[in-house]
Amino acid sequence: MKLRELYENIYEAGESVEDVAIIFGRFNPPHQGHKAAWELASGFSAWYVGTNQSTEGPKDPLPFKVKIAAMQAIWPDVKEHLVAEQSWWTLAAHVYKKHGPVTLHVVTDPADAKVFVAGLQKSNGVEGPHGFYRFKDIVWEEAPRISSATELRAAVANNDPQAFEQAAGVPANTPIGGKSFFEVVKHYLTPYLHQAAEKERLKAEKEAAKAKKKQPEVAEEFGVGRITAQNTTADVDASTPGKNLRAFKLAEQIKVIEQELQEAKEGKITKRQQQSTRGVYKFADAERWNADYVQYRAMMAAAMTDGENDPDIDPKSWVGKFKVAFPYSEQDAKILKKAFKAAGASHQDVNHGDMRSQELESTNTVSPVAKPKKNKYGV
> pLDDT of 251-263, one tens digit each?
666 665 555 555 4
pLDDT at 219 over 50: no
Cα 289 from Cα 287, distance rounded (Å): 6
Question: What φ, ψ does residue 21 adopt, rounded to 5°?
Answer: -105, 145
Residue 10 CB contacts under 8 Å (≥ 6 apart), including other chains:
none
Q: How confident is the model at residue 369 (pLDDT cuts 50, 70, 90)?
A: low
Q: How confident is the model at residue 223 (pLDDT cuts 50, 70, 90)?
A: very low
Residue 159 CB contacts under 8 Å (≥ 6 apart), including other chains:
186, 349, 352
Question: What φ, ψ does residue 79 adopt, rounded to 5°?
Answer: -50, -50
Cα 325 from Cα 136, distance rounded (Å): 57
Cα 167 from Cα 147, distance rounded (Å): 6
Q: What is the pLDDT of residue 2?
A: 46
> Per-residue pLDDT tens for 338-365?
888 887 777 778 777 887 777 666 666 6
Query: How far, in Å, are 160, 254, 341 from residue 345 at the CA level?
Result: 14, 34, 6
Cα 334 from Cα 331, distance rounded (Å): 5
Q: What is the pLDDT of residue 28?
A: 94
Rounded to the nearest 5 degrees, what angle is found at the Cα of 266, between the Cα atoms of 264 and 270? 125
pLDDT at 7 over 70: no
Q: What percent of the chain lies above the pLDDT cut of 90?
A: 42
Alpha carbon 294 to its chain's center: 17
Cα 24 from Cα 41, distance rounded (Å): 11
Q: What is the pLDDT of residue 277?
A: 75
Q: What is the pLDDT of residue 258?
A: 58
Cα 29 from Cα 25, distance rounded (Å): 10
Q: Judging by DSSP bridges, how do beta strands 103-108 and 137-142 pair with one another?
A: parallel
DSSP 3-state assignment of 22?
strand
Q: What is the pLDDT of residue 289?
A: 57
DSSP 3-state assignment of 153?
helix
Q: What percent of the chain lies above the pLDDT cut of 70?
A: 70
Q: What is the pLDDT of residue 242?
A: 52
Q: How confident is the model at residue 232 (pLDDT cuts 50, 70, 90)?
A: very low
Query: How far, in Å, are 22, 33, 226, 260 from residue 244 at the CA level?
Result: 69, 63, 13, 25
Nearest to 356 by CA among 275, 283, 249, 291: 275
pLDDT at 300 over 50: yes
Amino acid at 245: L
Segment 272-296 mean pLDDT: 70
> Per-residue pLDDT tens for 12-69?
444 578 999 999 999 999 999 999 999 999 999 999 999 998 878 899 999 999 999 9
Beta bridge pairs of residue 50: 24, 83
Window from 84-93, 95-104, 301-310 with minimum mean pLDDT: 301-310
pLDDT at 210 over 50: yes
Domains identified in the chain and CATH numbers: 17-147 (3.40.50.620), 221-267 (no CATH), 271-349 (no CATH)
Q: What is the pLDDT of residue 366?
A: 63
Cα 162 from Cα 171, distance rounded (Å): 9
Query: How far, in Å, are 45, 227, 262, 372 from residue 231 at the CA level?
Result: 79, 6, 18, 36
User: Please, what is the average pLDDT of the chain?
Assistant: 80
Q: Is the pTM of this model over 0.75?
A: no
Better pLDDT: 89 or 215: 89
Q: What is the pLDDT of residue 228?
A: 44
Instruction: Judge contact between 351 and 274, C-beta under 8 A.
Output: yes
Q: What is the pLDDT of residue 361?
A: 67
> Per-residue pLDDT tens for 147-186?
999 999 999 999 999 999 999 999 999 999 899 999 999 9
